[in-house]
Amino acid sequence: MSLKFKLILLTLIPILLITATISWISIHQARQLGEKEVKTFEQNLIKNREIALKDSVDLAFGAIEHIYHYARPDDEQAKQQVKIILSKLRYGSDGYFFAYDEEGINLVHPVKPELIGQNLINLTDENGNFIIQSLIDQAQTGGGFHRYLWHKPSTQEIVPKLSYAAWLPKWNWMIGTGLYIEDISEQVEEIRTTVETNIETTFISVIALLSVTVAVISALTLAINLHEHKLADKNLKELAYKTVMFQEDEKKHLARELHDGINQLLVSSKCHLELLSHHIDSNLNHRAQEHLHKSEHSLLTAINEVRRISHNLRPSSLDDIGLEAALHSLLTDFSDHTNLTVNTYIETKVLDLHPDVVTTLYRIVQESLTNIEKHANANLVEVTVEQLGDLLQLVIRDDGVGFKVQSALDGMGIGLRNMRERVEFIGGQFEITAEPNYGTEIMVLLDLPPHRNHQ
């Protein structure tokens, strides 16, 4: 796993855990609070209906009070008058009053007159709820409420009903009325749906906010990581370039020491040996003369080797007489020891190039020639260095076997990448064009500042 993904995970995991915990707690509390609000709302609705029912029964009692107050317990005429009054009392579309005696015999029922006279003490609803018996019990204890399922006249449906019953002790009658409360269930479900919708909206908002936060943090982390990576890459390239240039300076110094110091000492020693050999009698000192010749030969070999090493480290012509002469020397030596045809066009005399540019161009050509010798299997090499307006162009072509550029750049070899980085560091452009069996072309373009275009 890469460092940037580790940074993102280290940043996001605590945020995700904290957000998930807070969200779960918030949603759980919101659900509990919502359920309490729903129950409170339902209780308030029921309470309002209960108050309305009790008020309705009180009004019914008020309507029969003038008869009931003066009637005797066995006054059948008064009872009949009360039944008529209760049958005629109606409110709303489905509101009516009913009456039962203590045995559960129906006395008044304006909606279902067929029930009058029937003993309904054991009447139950679909849930096994004893309706009349429970209402009588509530009435005998001072009045009370009871819920059950009952037939709604306006819709012909079996729906929940809430009834209130009170007791007429003189006659042992239960008088009551009821309201259909299926609308309460509908309103409660609407409120519950609204609460759930709000919770879902909150949850979606939290998820959206979390997603945006994650995206922003990821983007910022990636941006910071990319910036730091670019900065580190830039610093690394700068360090690598400085290291290379330091090595170039060391090579230059070492080459100069070898050429001007050790090489001169070796040449001087060879001269002294030659002088010494002329003063030794070859007949009397044959063995000494033989040793002298061997010494001269060894010194000559050492001189040539020091010159070769010095030249490979850094050709003196590069510092003494410039890039053009150094390149000509390099290309001539390459052609001689590889037997390849080298076509050259180099024109840099009119240019005042920075030493770093001179070193970079020389090393690009040197590295390219090494690659051609090792891998290209070419017959012809062309090297061009010229000024094109405000640009300096270096082109190296060969007619060899070519290669796949991206595969080479992605491979283990670092030669091409080093060339690209060296050119880019001095502000140039580095391009490679190659195809299998169609040769290779390397082109370098450098901007020439106006004050360096001419000597």
Distance from C-alpha of 405 to C-alpha of 389, rounded to nearest angstrom: 29
Q: Where are the domains of the chain?
A: 3-180, 320-452
Radius of gyration of the chain (CA): 56
DSSP-derived secondary structure letter, 110: S
Sign, Cα dihedral of 259, 261, 263, 268: positive
Q: What is the mean pLDDT of the chain?
A: 82
pTM: 0.46
* Per-residue pLDDT reduced to its tens digit, 184-221: 888 888 888 888 888 888 878 878 887 887 788 777 77
Round to whole Å and give the CA distance between 157 and 183: 13
In three-state form (DSSP H/G/I as H, E/B as E, the rest C), the secondary structure along 189-207 is HHHHHHHHHHHHHHHHHHH
Q: Report residues of the chain scoring pLDDT below 50.
A: 284, 452-455
CA distance 340 to 79: 138
Task: Report the distance separating Cα 172 and Cα 107, nearest Å.
Answer: 12
Identify the pLDDT of residue 454.
Answer: 43
Q: Name the amino acid, one letter, at 159.
A: V
Give 411-425 pLDDT, tens digit per residue.
655 678 888 888 888
Architecture of domain 3-180: 2-Layer Sandwich (3.30)
Dist. CA 306–CA 352, nearest whole Å = 31
Contact 444, 423 (CB under 8 A): yes
Q: Which CATH superfamily includes the segment(s) 320-452?
A: Histidine kinase-like ATPase, C-terminal domain (3.30.565.10)
Bridge partners of 146, per DSSP, are: 163
